[in-house]
């Protein structure tokens, strides 16, 4: 099992280009199943979750060709409209094929999703939404089965709580449903907007993406298209925090600053200098001293839960007490005890972590529990004195493209070992 060996204490300096968004590429790949024409996606990151999704798409019956970040999918026929457990047990995004398969094939069988152990991600929100579009849905033997032999029909979907994958799933189902669908309490994340852009380029009729109400007028069929995936805002945010945490000076190019306003505001409050040299770049320079900042995770445009662990690592070096409140997932503080092994002073009380700083971090052997927790431990290792070994880095491989190579290019002393 691979691990990262990190010699900390070196400021990160230089320039780095953002990768395409994993969380945008996953629904985009699922959307390719909605047409029998070829769809080409540019800037697809080479990460483990996307390799799993491509294996799933091949299993379903689509043709896949890849070329250095460019992927073309043609789903002429879909003889196996299912997502088996053995293929998707490590990836929660498997539920994203439920809507497209039900819409295109009239039936779908999808294993309940796996992925990070950070709390419940109830599939019932997807199920209720598809039922509102006329599908018959049941759960048995660990699978969700949806059946709509006469096709889906438009309806009104009102989510009890905001769900990104649920919004994306019903959006893809609705584009081929007869009549109009209204999605209330929809997720407003940039990844939802990017999916809508792709679907519109394929011939869908969608209004309101990026707002809490999305309207979809169903069409009889979609056609092929080409689409470039948006930059990965979580990767960009991770590198912004890394630059601040290590006392570095980083330029991040090919990014979208508007997607990171909540993080940038918190970094400014902490005393970190973040500027926009160009419309698609960000520069971060560390202050002399970091100030403690309170953070509460929220749905977009609030502070992203996927940046909470990394920001906690930053707050271990800030002067004062910071309160970090997690409202999205109930079990997303497992990195706190590992940061404590490195010298951090953190107390967890329910959905709130209390960080007292500054704490001198020292290298230690730590274990990654999930994707973003692994990133926080890597960042802490970069700032710590001495040697840090991060175990179970397969978690970070799920969502970051060649992160150790990118960090090494910025001066970090990090390497992968077996």
pLDDT at 121 over 70: no
Evaluate whether 381 touches 8 at the Cβ level (below 8 Å): yes
Identify which of 387, 367, 385, 306 has the alpha carbon closest to the alpha carbon of residue 377.
Answer: 367
Identify which of 350, 344, 351 has the alpha carbon closest to the alpha carbon of residue 366.
Answer: 344
This prediction has a pTM of 0.95
The tokens describing 166, both together, are: 């649920």
The pLDDT score that the predictor gives to residue 404 is 96
| Alpha-carbon span 242 to 250, nearest angstrom | 9
The tokens describing 214, both together, are: 């999305």
The pLDDT score that the predictor gives to residue 114 is 53
pLDDT in tens, 245-260: 999 999 999 999 999 9
Give the active site residues.
116
Angle formed at CA 364 by CA 335 and CA 352, multiple of 5 degrees: 20
Give the helix/strand (H/E) hosting 151.
Answer: none
| Alpha-carbon span 398 to 113, nearest angstrom | 15
The tokens describing 108, both together, are: 């779908």
Q: Residue 318, SS3?
A: strand
Calculate Rg over the CA atoms of the chain: 21
Give the helix/strand (H/E) hosting 31.
Answer: helix 22-31
The pLDDT score that the predictor gives to residue 113 is 63
Average pLDDT value for the chain = 94
> With pLDDT > 90 as the criterion, what percentage of the chain qualifies?
84
Q: Give the highest mean pLDDT range of 121-135, 296-310, 359-373.
A: 296-310
pLDDT in tens, 25-79: 999 999 999 999 999 999 999 999 999 999 999 999 999 999 988 999 999 999 9
**8-state DSSP, 140:** E
Residue 115 pLDDT class (50, 70, 90 cuts) = very low
The tokens describing 5, both together, are: 């060996």
pLDDT at 120 over 60: no
Which domains, from first to last, does the chain contain?
A: 3-18+231-417 (3.65.10.10), 22-228 (3.65.10.10)
Residue 319 pLDDT class (50, 70, 90 cuts) = very high
> With pLDDT > 70 as the criterion, what percentage of the chain qualifies?
97
pLDDT in tens, 340-397: 999 999 999 999 999 999 999 999 999 988 888 899 999 999 999 999 999 999 989 9
């Amino acid at each position: 099992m691979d691990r990262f060996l990190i010699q900390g204490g070196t400021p990160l300096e230089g320039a780095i280009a953002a990768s395409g968004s994993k969380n945008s590429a996953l629904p985009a790949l699922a959307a390719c199943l909605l047409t029998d024409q070829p769809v080409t996606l540019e800037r697809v990151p080479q990460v483990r979750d996307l390799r799993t999704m491509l294996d799933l798409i091949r299993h379903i019956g689509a043709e896949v060709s890849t070329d250095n970040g460019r992927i073309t999918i043609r789903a002429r026929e879909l003889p196996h409209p299912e997502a088996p457990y053995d293929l998707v047990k490590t990836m929660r995004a498997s539920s994203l094929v439920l809507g497209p398969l039900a819409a295109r094939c009239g039936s779908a069988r999808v294993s309940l999703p796996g992925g990070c152990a950070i709390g419940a991600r109830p599939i019932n929100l997807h199920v209720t939404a598809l039922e509102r579009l006329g599908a018959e849905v049941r759960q048995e033997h660990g699978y969700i089965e949806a059946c709509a032999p006469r096709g889906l029909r438009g309806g009104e979907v009102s989510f009890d709580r905001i769900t990104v994958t649920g919004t994306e799933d019903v959006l893809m189902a609705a584009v081929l449903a007869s009549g109009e669908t209204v999605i209330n309490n929809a997720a407003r994340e940039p990844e939802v907007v990017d999916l809508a852009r792709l679907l519109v380029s394929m011939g869908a009729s969608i209004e309101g993406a990026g707002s809490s109400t999305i309207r979809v007028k169903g069409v009889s069929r979609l056609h092929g298209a080409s689409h470039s995936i948006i930059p990965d805002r979580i990767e960009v945010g991770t590198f912004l925090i890394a630059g601040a945490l290590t006392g570095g000076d980083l330029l991040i190019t090919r990014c979208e600053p508007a997607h990171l306003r909540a993080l940038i505001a918190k970094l400014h409050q902490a005393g970190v200098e973040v500027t926009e040299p160009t419309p698609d770049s960000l520069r971060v320079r560390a202050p002399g001293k970091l100030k403690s900042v309170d953070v509460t995770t929220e749905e977009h445009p609030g502070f992203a839960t996927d940046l909470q662990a990394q920001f906690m690592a930053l707050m271990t070096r800030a002067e004062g007490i910071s309160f970090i409140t997690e409202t999205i997932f109930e079990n997303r503080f497992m990195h706190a005890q590992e940061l404590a092994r490195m010298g951090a002073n953190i107390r967890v009380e329910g959905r709130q972590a209390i960080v007292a700083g500054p704490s001198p971090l020292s290298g230690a052997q730590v274990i990654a529990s999930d994707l973003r927790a692994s990133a926080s431990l890597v960042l802490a290792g970069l700032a710590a004195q001495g040697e840090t070994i991060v175990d179970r880095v397969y978690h970070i491989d799920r969502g970051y493209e060649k992160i150790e190579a990118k960090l090494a290019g910025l001066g970090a002393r990090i390497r992968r070992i077996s």
